[in-house]
Amino acid sequence: MPSRLSRLAAAALLVAASACQSANQYEPDGATIDLWIRGGSVIDGSGTPARKADVLVSGDSIVFVGNVGSAQFEATRIIDATGKVVTPGFIDTHAHGNPARTPGFDNFLAMGVTTIALGQDGGGPQVVDPSAFIDSLNAGGLGVNVAYFAGHGTIRMMSGVEYDTEPTDAGIDSMKSILRSQLEGGFFGMTTGLEYTPGIYSGDDELMALAEVVGEYDRLIMSHMRNEDDDAVEASLRELLRQGREAAVQVSHFKSVYGKGAARAEELLAILDSARATGTQVTADLYPYTASYTDIGIVFPTWAKAPNDYDQVRAQSRDSLLRYVHDRVMLRNGPEATLLGTGEYEGKTLADLAEESGKPFEEILVDDIGPRGASGAYFVMDDALQERLAQDPFVMFCSDGSPTGFHPRGHGTFARIIETFVREKKLFTLEEAVRKMTWLPAQTLGLDGRGRLATGYVADVLVFDPKMIHETATYTNPLSNAEGMDVVLVAGVRAYEGGSATSDRPGRVLRASKR
């Protein structure tokens, strides 16, 4: 069975061949043409230069990309893309959200995202057989496509392993059985959240056993690694790469907390390059911001989190707990660098809360908030380091955002890539940016028939003027949709047009192909 990386190489040849064939004029075969996207500059997702071409769509599929010339045919609808680019829909490899609560996912459509990957950080759906779960979501309609992943932490809880640091053989077998059922049912792989409970309690033997199962299905492991701090990130990478002996692996939201400079990024990328050279299938994604966003529990010690009773821990070890969270926050650039986004704390830093209350920030954390009482943005990353990571050809983009998260990444990521990384900073070409947002993630996730503008592919298509793409979300106003996307097609149906989502919801929960 060919590896994912070998399929990536083969796919590049197919794209080149398709580009040559597309130069031919269209020869109608009697099929009805539902949509003619006319006169645009096509960026097909392969990374090759943009070219003037027409795109014809029938039903949910692309039937031609090239020059229609003088061919005689009728199109039910025409989109004039003169002066604009036409690209595949963007694919967000690490997103969050609940399709049952926010099925429209307008924030993603406004950025041009047509497919999102959910079940992240070890928190996948709590189902054994996904079939009924997928069918129920599809019955209601979605704004975007969803690729679900099995969650390692969820499987731990479902299997009864829960918080065990040394699961029994029976516990491991139960986890493997649940994982197999979820992969059989169409999930695209497994995610881990090794910095969170219960994933934090897992060890190598357990993770390797589950990696073997993922490898059996030629699926992907995406990992929020055990520790992203600069002094621990290399060990975390190597832990994931050990699982890469059994299955393809992806570093989720690649970063180095406290790391500085492009040279440090080169060192981290060299670790992945070295593993790739020996046959490990490893990729990564990241979001284009220097602040992360997660539960406030990240600044609390393991011994204060589940399954331990927090109130009891605080009563017995309050002084130690105060010292720990104080030192942890100071290591993470201080209370000014933690911007909370939950309930009454929304939009305030720990420093703001301390000033308002007259209490030290550590007392607010320990006595008022606790490890599960809030989420926040943490300004802990370095521009030069993150931008160098973003330029690597095996690194794609994700938002790690949702329709409701208090961080601009959920509403601005893909607009920011075009507006800031391409137009302003010129870190790479628009063609390369599109490749990183379409074809590369499609091949990495195993989204067959998506991520390209080519005959036979699903018509997830964007039309926009790159000069008009604008991120409006900010850290203080993070729920503001991006601007500039003219038309977003999902499976050939208009999902977004003229600055707003349509009433159609053509997205669906996808099922992984059996290989």
Structural domain contains residue 492 = no
Residues 229 and 184 in one domain: yes
Find the radius of gyration of the CA atoms of the chain: 23
The DSSP secondary-structure symbol of 199 reads: G
Residues 192 and 281 in one domain: yes
**What pLDDT does residue 74 have?**
86
Which of 379, 405, 429 terminates a domain? The answer is 379
Structural domain contains residue 239 = yes
Residues 306 and 440 in one domain: no
Residues 193 and 134 in one domain: yes
Residues 284 and 328 in one domain: no
Domain count, the chain: 2
Residues 101 and 158 in one domain: yes
Q: Any bridge partners for residue 488, and if so which?
A: 462, 496
Residues 128 and 266 in one domain: yes
Structural domain contains residue 367 = yes
**What pLDDT does residue 204 have?**
97
Residues 225 and 240 in one domain: yes
Residues 187 and 268 in one domain: yes
* Successive 10-residue mean pLDDT values, the chain, 515 residues: 48 42 58 90 98 96 90 89 98 97 97 98 96 95 98 98 97 98 98 98 98 98 98 98 98 97 98 98 98 95 96 97 97 95 94 97 98 95 98 98 96 98 98 98 98 98 98 97 98 97 97 85
| 412 touches 481 (CB < 8 A) | no
Structural domain contains residue 180 = yes
Residue 341 sits in which domain range?
Answer: 294-379
Residues 174 and 272 in one domain: yes
Structural domain contains residue 483 = no
Residue 159's domain is classified under what CATH number? 3.20.20.140
Nearest to 493 by CA among 45, 135, 142: 142
Residues 249 and 130 in one domain: yes
Residues 303 and 370 in one domain: yes
Nearest to 354 by CA among 371, 367, 373, 341: 367
**What pLDDT does residue 10 have?**
43
Structural domain contains residue 33 = no
Which of 379, 399, 418 terminates a domain? The answer is 379
| 412 touches 111 (CB < 8 A) | yes
